[in-house]
Amino acid sequence: MLFDFDTCYDAVKNRDARYDGVFFTGVSSTGIFCRPVCPAVTPKPENCEFYPSSAAAMVAGYRPCLRCRPESAPNSPAWNGVKTTVKRALTLIDQGALDNHTVRELAERLGISDRYLRRLFSEHVGASPRAVARSRRVLLAKRLISDSADSMTTVAHKAGFSSVRQFNDTFHKLYGVPPSQLRHAYARQAHSN
């Protein structure tokens, strides 16, 4: 244990949030373990044992408190809740998860429904998973257009577009010009500098 008994007990008594997730309190009179910030009545010192993790408290025979939910201590996936799911989805999209797969397949990979995934993205990202993937593809393609000599077909495929036609249509909708014209504009800009 990193801290002595008195430090831990003072943290529990004062519900000190600085120690939340740092240690857990096993209460021998109830058989329950809690976070230091638990709103329950402060246990007597003689009934307290302190553990560095929720797993250690469970191994010692304690069960998690239903009020403070020690399994959801700071920085655990449960504590981060939907942010963890959204972050994981964004990482997978960045890795190309929607280049050749559906939103439903991405949701299944995350263990949620595609409808729920769309709702999370609407609430936390402000765009659909497909829109995020499309944006990622466009930004990568723009970088490849300006920084490489790859053909437009190669750029389209490297950026994750399913076809050259989709690549051209997307650029024409967003920029009003085909990607090749964008490359010429980048080249003119580079020569003028």
Asked if 48 is an active-site residue, the reply is no
Asked if 65 is an active-site residue, the reply is yes
Reported in sequence order, the residue ranges of 48-169 that DSSP labels E, i.e. its strands, are 48-51, 63-64
**Selecting from 1.10.1240.10, 3.40.50.2300, 3.40.10.10, 3.40.50.2020, what CATH number does the domain 5-72 have?**
3.40.10.10
Q: Exactly one of 22, 68, 110, 117 is catalytic; which is it?
A: 68
Going residue by residue through the chain, which has 193 residues, state the pLDDT in tens, using 9 for 90 and above.
567 999 999 999 999 988 988 899 999 999 999 999 998 999 999 999 999 888 888 889 999 988 888 876 666 655 566 778 888 999 999 888 998 899 999 999 988 899 999 998 888 888 899 989 988 888 889 989 988 889 999 999 998 888 899 999 988 888 888 888 888 887 777 777 6
How remote is the C-alpha of 139 from its chain's centroid? 21
* pTM of structure: 0.55
In the structure encoding, which two tokens stand for residue 3, read together? 């801290």
Asked if 8 is an active-site residue, the reply is no
Asked if 68 is an active-site residue, the reply is yes
In the structure encoding, which two tokens stand for residue 181, read together? 């014209």
Class of domain 131-192: mainly alpha
- Angle at CA 52, nearest 5°, toward 49 and 56? 75
**Measured distance CA(43)–CA(15) in Å, rounded:** 12
CB 33 within 8 A of CB 51: yes
Report the helix count and the strand count for the chain, using DSSP H and E.
10, 4
**Measured distance CA(55)–CA(61) in Å, rounded:** 10
In the structure encoding, which two tokens stand for residue 57, read together? 């408290």
Q: Exactly one of 65, 107, 132, 152 is catalytic; which is it?
A: 65
Q: Exactly one of 22, 38, 89, 182 is catalytic; which is it?
A: 38
